[in-house]
Amino acid sequence: MYFQELCTIAGVDKKMALIVHKYGGTSMGSTERIKNVAKRVAKWHRAGHRVVVVPSAMSGETNRLLGLAREISAQPNPRELDMLASTGEQASVALLAIALHGEDIDAVSYTGWQVPVKTDSAYTKARIESIDDERILGDLDAGRVVVITGFQGIDDDGNITTLGRGGSDTSAVAIAAAIEADECLIYTDVDGVYTTDPRVVEDARRLDKITFEEMLEMASLGSKVLQIRSVEFAGKYRVKTRVLSSLTDPLMPLEQEINSGTLITFEEDSNMEAAVISGIAFARDEAKITILGVPDKPGIAYQILGPVADANIDVDMIIQNQSVDGKTDFTFTVPRGDYQRTLTLLNDSVKPHVARPAYRATRRCRRCRWLAWACARTWASPARCSARCRKRASTSR
């Protein structure tokens, strides 16, 4: 059952639910907005629910911190970047706890290492390995609201790590899974998931619900509502998730609030015969890399992409051309922020397997996909990459 089935807010039958709230950077963008978040959280707490809050850093703060680092060094040490970037969320949880105290709510804030949230040691792109729920549940049982930093954790050597862009979404869903929360509410600056970007298409329509499979595809294809790893986590551990707006009246009735936004559901569409287009997603921040003259032999794709995957760099589209005289071209896309690091990895890893490798790459690549689902829930149409991606290809090395 979903949360709205677990409790009847307006009726006599109230069942205390365990809820995780996640607030993005825009929602935490000023002291006034932090106070509004505190009012919303206090409303849920006063209604008898146990609440854990996972806020992001204030809007623009992470970029500001990373910008300072790059003013000092063109390639800052990744460990020190994580130490620096993690302070943004630490400020947010403290400020929110103070705001909750102003609402006469007993609240306590924790960093990822205090919980602890254990991760691997892949700085700037760490992955969560485990979360200790004892401290969280102890505070909840004592009647407190628990505020935990998103985006960060700690590795086995005691080093602070961060989860990469959008990592607070992943933190919230992972914490919800660890404490077996009834639902995870993702509060953003939009009021749900739309069929496409409403800033680009004026008549984009908000979806009342979407399946995890559909949301996963939209996240992987450029939708910025949720980070892809958070959707993967939610699907794997079956965490009930809802996307809704933090910019509404914080004192709106709970019954109205829990039915707003977009519910990400495990339920399948009952109309399985007709193919349905759920949405259109596109990405503006991808880089395309082509390796020319690759030997057409078994295992060559792994030799190229293995080191990239080991570095926690997400590879999206992969195309291998038809072989000519035993040679082929191998093309794939990565996030633009990982462009230079990927080229460095390829230069180190491809040389032993490809004589005189040549790269053709562009930092700016856009792609668009129709998110169409048939009865088997497979792709109904191919990827479409813009003409700019092909026209602006330039030699990198």
Q: Would residue 273 count as lying in a domain? A: no
Looking at the structure, tell me whether residues 117 and 220 fall in a common domain: yes
Instruction: Say whether pTM exceeds 0.85.
Output: no
Question: How far is it, in rounded angstroms, from Cα 332 to Cα 385?
Answer: 12
Q: Would residue 272 count as lying in a domain? A: no
Question: How far is it, in rounded angstroms, from Cα 116 to Cα 294?
Answer: 45
Looking at the structure, tell me whether residues 232 and 338 fall in a common domain: no
Q: Residue 310 belongs to a domain with what CATH number?
A: 3.30.2130.10
> What is the mean predicted confidence (pLDDT) over 296-303?
82
Q: Would residue 240 count as lying in a domain? A: yes
Neighbouring CB atoms inside 10 A of 396's CB total 17
> What is the mean predicted confidence (pLDDT) over 272-288?
58
Looking at the structure, tell me whether residues 301 and 246 fall in a common domain: no
**pLDDT, position 1:** 43
Closest CA to 100 of 16, 24, 40: 40
Question: How far is it, in rounded angstroms, from Cα 352 to Cα 372?
Answer: 41
| Sequence letter at residue 17 | A
Question: How far is it, in rounded angstroms, from Cα 101 to Cα 107?
Answer: 7
Q: Would residue 104 count as lying in a domain? A: yes
Q: Would residue 89 count as lying in a domain? A: yes
**At residue 166, what are phi and psi to the nearest 5 degrees?**
75, 10
**pLDDT, position 150:** 94
**pLDDT, position 364:** 54
**pLDDT, position 286:** 78
Looking at the structure, tell me whether residues 312 and 240 fall in a common domain: no
**pLDDT, position 370:** 40
**pLDDT, position 270:** 53
Question: How far is it, in rounded angstroms, from Cα 317 to Cα 334?
Answer: 8
**pLDDT, position 33:** 96
pLDDT tens by residue, 42-91: 999 999 999 999 999 999 999 999 999 999 999 999 999 999 999 999 99
Looking at the structure, tell me whether residues 287 and 237 fall in a common domain: no
> What is the mean predicted confidence (pLDDT) over 161-181?
93
Query: Please, are residues 334 and 314 in contact by the beta-carbon 8 Å criterion?
Result: yes
Query: Please, are residues 397 and 359 in contact by the beta-carbon 8 Å criterion?
Result: yes
Looking at the structure, tell me whether residues 239 and 292 fall in a common domain: no
In the block, tokens 């910019």 appear at: 247
Confidence of residue 10 (pLDDT cuts 50, 70, 90): very low
> What is the mean predicted confidence (pLDDT) over 182-201?
83
> What is the mean predicted confidence (pLDDT) over 110-129?
95
Residue spans of alpha helices (H) in 10-148: 31-46, 61-72, 78-102, 134-141
Q: Which two tokens stand for residue 295?
A: 């030997």
Most confident segment among 153-167, 303-317, 374-388: 153-167
Confidence of residue 309 (pLDDT cuts 50, 70, 90): confident
Query: Please, are residues 50 and 136 in contact by the beta-carbon 8 Å criterion?
Result: no
Neighbouring CB atoms inside 10 A of 348's CB total 10
Looking at the structure, tell me whether residues 28 and 164 fall in a common domain: yes
Looking at the structure, tell me whether residues 185 and 57 fall in a common domain: yes
Judged by average pLDDT, the poorest of 233-237, 268-272, 330-334, 347-351 is 268-272
Domain that holds residue 260: 3-265
**pLDDT, position 3:** 47
> What is the mean predicted confidence (pLDDT) over 326-348?
84
Q: Would residue 116 count as lying in a domain? A: yes
| Sequence letter at residue 306 | G
Which of 237, 265, 293 is the last residue in one of the domains? 265
Q: Would residue 271 count as lying in a domain? A: no
Looking at the structure, tell me whether residues 66 and 164 fall in a common domain: yes
Confidence of residue 202 (pLDDT cuts 50, 70, 90): confident
pLDDT at 216 over 80: no
Long-range contacts, 376-379 (Cβ 8 Å, 24+) = 377/213
Q: Would residue 305 count as lying in a domain? A: yes
- Burial class (CB within 10 angstroms; exposed 0-12, middle 13-18, buried 19+) of 249: exposed
**pLDDT, position 217:** 73
Confidence of residue 316 (pLDDT cuts 50, 70, 90): confident
> Based on the structure, what is the number of domains in the chain?
2
Looking at the structure, tell me whether residues 327 and 245 fall in a common domain: no
Confidence of residue 98 (pLDDT cuts 50, 70, 90): very high
Looking at the structure, tell me whether residues 97 and 204 fall in a common domain: yes
Query: Please, are residues 160 and 86 in contact by the beta-carbon 8 Å criterion?
Result: yes
Looking at the structure, tell me whether residues 260 and 303 fall in a common domain: no
**pLDDT, position 360:** 61
Which of 205, 240, 265 is the last residue in one of the domains? 265
Q: Residue 187 belongs to a domain with what CATH number?
A: 3.40.1160.10
**pLDDT, position 333:** 87
Which of 265, 289, 321 is the last residue in one of the domains? 265
**pLDDT, position 363:** 55
In the block, tokens 């630490």 appear at: 90
pLDDT at 358 over 90: no
- Burial class (CB within 10 angstroms; exposed 0-12, middle 13-18, buried 19+) of 12: exposed
Question: What mean pLDDT, rounded, does the chain reach?
Answer: 81
Q: What is the DSSP string of 268-321?
A: PPS--SS-EEEEEEEEEEEEEEEEEEEE--TTHHHHHHHHHHHTTPPP--EEEP
Question: How far is it, in rounded angstroms, from Cα 187 to Cα 55?
Answer: 10
> What is the mean predicted confidence (pLDDT) over 331-343?
85
Closest CA to 358 of 298, 296, 289, 309: 289
What's the angle, vertex CA 171, arms to CA 377 and CA 267, rounded to 5?
25
Percent of the chain with pLDDT over 70: 77
